[in-house]
Amino acid sequence: MPSFAQQPETAVAEGAKSENFDPGKVIMEHVADNHEWHFATLGDEHTGTHITLPLPVIAYQPAHGLSVFSSSKLHDSETHTYGTVKLEESKLVSTDGTPLYDFSITKNVASLMLSCLILILIFRTVASGYSTRKGGAPKGVQSMLEPIVLFIRDEVAKKSIGPKYERYMPYLLTIFFFIWFNNLLGLTPGAANLSGNITVTFMLAVATLLITLFSSNKYYWGHIFRPPGVPLLLLPIIVPVEIAGIFIKPISLMVRLFANITAGHIIVLSFISLIFLFKAATVGVVAIPFALFISLLELLVALLQAYIFTLLSAMYIGGAVEDHHDSDFQMGYDDGSEGAPAAH
């Protein structure tokens, strides 16, 4: 990946730089967002050919107005400066110190658009299959995704939300497939680490929080401000804890997804970096199998994290919408019939 720091011009300094390998810098450049999409490097990191896709830079400065240009103009410059915009450690700053607002299409934004396009195309194909084969056996992509949709409906939505599950199925299916597909895309070489971006996981958690709060009923708020069975003397302690729990739940969703996905990428890159750090083929004999094992494990983690996020979201929503005693009698959790106890 190209370095954004200003390069020394002396041959001695260049030689010393090429000999020193900084694994921390390389790893963070791969997992962090960027203003260009870097796919591969042919040859030495500093003197080789970088295969990159320039992305649009959109910067607004109150003192200079709106600037729209290709990120290649920043990387072609030795100082990574174009006009009054400068790139410092993957962040846009103003050359004269005035405020700058970055609305650029970064690597993560481009990956988000790509994943949304893929999801739309896939599910339009599935919807078309249902409309043309009404009552018939599913085929192709439809046959692959239908068991997953039924699993989310029967094992996640129904059991966690209860008889009101249908209105929340579009959201649960959306976050499950969005997280799963982006986790898988993040494992492909040269791809963006979208699920490992704290901003993305933050917005997913906020969506779950808003749906939970706007769907809540009087029993939900009654359990928070007047928990049943709690003595009055303990209410000043319990009520703040319950209120804090409203926000701790989405925070746990945000951090869990971000940490697990980012940790997987860092571990894989760390094993690969050992080869260049020690410059020994014997290290590669050990490092590559471990990196391959972690990569295969990440395939399972990609699906598991999507399932956990969806399941916990459904549980939080279910706790907000359930009516009095619904959870005690398991109304609608198994067969959809109200008032029927669950079969054991």
At residue 156, the 3 state secondary structure works out as helix
More confident residue, 54 or 79: 54
Confidence of residue 16 (pLDDT cuts 50, 70, 90): very low
Residue 168 has a pLDDT of 95
Q: Per-residue pLDDT for 4 more than 50?
A: no
Structural domain spans, the chain: 11-102, 118-327
The mean per-residue pLDDT over the stretch 28-40 comes to 79
158-195 pLDDT, tens digit per residue, is 999 989 999 999 999 999 999 999 999 988 877 788 88
101-115 pLDDT, tens digit per residue, is 889 998 999 999 999
More confident residue, 168 or 39: 168
What's the token pair of residue 284? 């590669």
Nearest Cα residue to 67 out of 82, 52, 89:
82
Residue 167 has a pLDDT of 93
Confidence of residue 324 (pLDDT cuts 50, 70, 90): low
At residue 259, the 3 state secondary structure works out as helix
Nearest Cα residue to 302 out of 158, 151, 178, 169:
178
Confidence of residue 336 (pLDDT cuts 50, 70, 90): very low
Q: Name every residue whose Cβ is closer than 8 Å to that of residue 181 and which is 6 or more positions away in sequence.
A: 115, 118, 119
Nearest Cα residue to 13 out of 23, 3, 1:
3
More confident residue, 340 or 163: 163
Residue 149 has a pLDDT of 92
